[in-house]
Amino acid sequence: MQTDTSTESDDTLYVDAISAALADEMRADPDVVLMGQDIAGHGGAFKITRGFLEEFGDQRVRNTPIAESGTIGIAIGSSMLGIKPVVEMQFADFVSCGFNQIVNVAAKMYWRTKHPVPLVIRLPGGGGMGAGAFHSQNIENWFLHTPGLKVVSPAYSGDAYRLLRAAIRDPNPVLYFEHKFLYRRERSPLQTAPIPDRILGESSILRSGTDITTVSWGWMTHRTLEAAEILSQEGIEVEVIDLPVLSPLDHRGIIASVEKTQRAAIIHEATCTGGFGAEIAARICDEAIWSLDAPVRRITYPDSPPPFHKGLEASRIPSPERICSELRQLLEV
């Protein structure tokens, strides 16, 4: 479990925390270079790099063509020559066009050559915006199945800032998932020091409880906390674990919590089949099966593409009300 000794600043929007992390790391390390579509003069699709061109110049803030495979390939090559590239996908979904470069080149380069690949790929994803099937997916599990990649999915501005800076310093390729719905809605203090020099497995207990352990990440952590507050008024105490880092996974914290509460639910926005919740459930069964008083439950998006209609989309994303309902059912088993 994470023990934070950092100093904190005033509350900062999630989107601004990401921008601040990029700028601060670029000021600290001249080898950090940004790459992506329209990130220079335009500032990117979400304006995260607005003003960077003026401060850092066009050699460190580089526009790229609409060619994700080529962009990631160039970034891999430059990382092996001493550069620390940070690549922005306009939307996480578009990374599929660069999938081979990530899973067959970047992830395996160290095992083939003993050469590190300090590469970060930023992936704005998630639903809640009515953006349709090509702009709303949660695709973290595509990469969690691939050894050699680290995967981050912060729920709070403080973690977003700290973990992005750590990801840039890490000698391994890191997939950094940032949730679009949180960009201008989540606000919390930045954790400005100390910044670790690599991504390590970590989990955080955001709310202590005795009746059920929940595990979530990204936007779903916020919704799980809302559900836990509702259930507490009914005398049900939910222990809420957030996973800002999905790989490497801090499973020991999860197991310790489940051994205490004897029930577990994993809440994620990605689709159910093959989602990371299944892996976490398997690890709980491997290591804490005799502590369980009920089957491990997954509360997820159904196995369907995200619809464009906001109402239909909202009905699919786990809501606090649905989380409450399923946790109540779990207590009745």
pLDDT per residue as tens, the chain (333 positions): 443 334 556 799 999 999 999 999 999 999 999 999 999 999 999 999 999 999 999 999 999 999 999 999 999 999 999 999 999 999 999 999 999 999 999 999 999 999 999 999 999 999 998 898 999 999 999 999 999 999 999 999 999 999 999 999 999 999 999 999 999 999 999 877 789 999 999 999 999 999 999 999 999 999 999 999 999 999 999 999 999 999 999 999 999 999 999 999 999 999 999 999 999 999 999 999 999 999 999 999 999 999 999 999 999 999 999 999 999 999 998
Q: Judge whether 135 counts as a catalytic residue.
A: yes
Helices (H) and strands (E) in the chain, counts: 12, 14
Query: Rounded to an integer, what distance in angstroms lies between the CA atom of residue 212 and that of residue 232?
Result: 11
Across 105-123, b (16+ Cβ under 10 Å) vs e yields bbbbbeeeeeeebbbbbbb
Q: Which CATH number fits domain 9-193: 3.40.50.970, 3.40.640.10, 3.30.70.270, 3.40.50.300?
A: 3.40.50.970
Residue 42's contacts (CB-CB under 8 Å, 6 or more residues apart) are 50
What ranges in 187-250 are assigned the alpha helix state H?
Answer: 219-232
Q: What is the pTM of this model?
A: 0.94
Equal CATH topology for 9-193 and 204-332: yes
Considering the domain delimited by 204-332, tell me its CATH architecture: 3-Layer(aba) Sandwich (3.40)
Question: Which residue ranges make up each domain of the chain?
Answer: 9-193, 204-332
- The residue from 42, 115, 135, 222 that is catalytic is 135
Query: Rounded to an integer, what distance in angstroms lies between the CA atom of residue 193 and that of residue 202?
Result: 17
* Residues 34 and 60 sit within 8 Å (Cβ to Cβ): yes
Q: How high is the pLDDT of residue 207?
A: 98
Query: Rounded to an integer, what distance in angstroms lies between the CA atom of residue 235 and that of residue 319?
Result: 20
Using DSSP bridges, classify how beta strands 238-242 and 204-207 pair: parallel, antiparallel or unpaired: antiparallel
CA contacts within 13 A on the Cβ side of 284: 30
Q: Which structure tokens are listed for 293?
A: 């008083």
Residue 178's contacts (CB-CB under 8 Å, 6 or more residues apart) are 14, 18, 122, 123, 124, 125, 154, 160
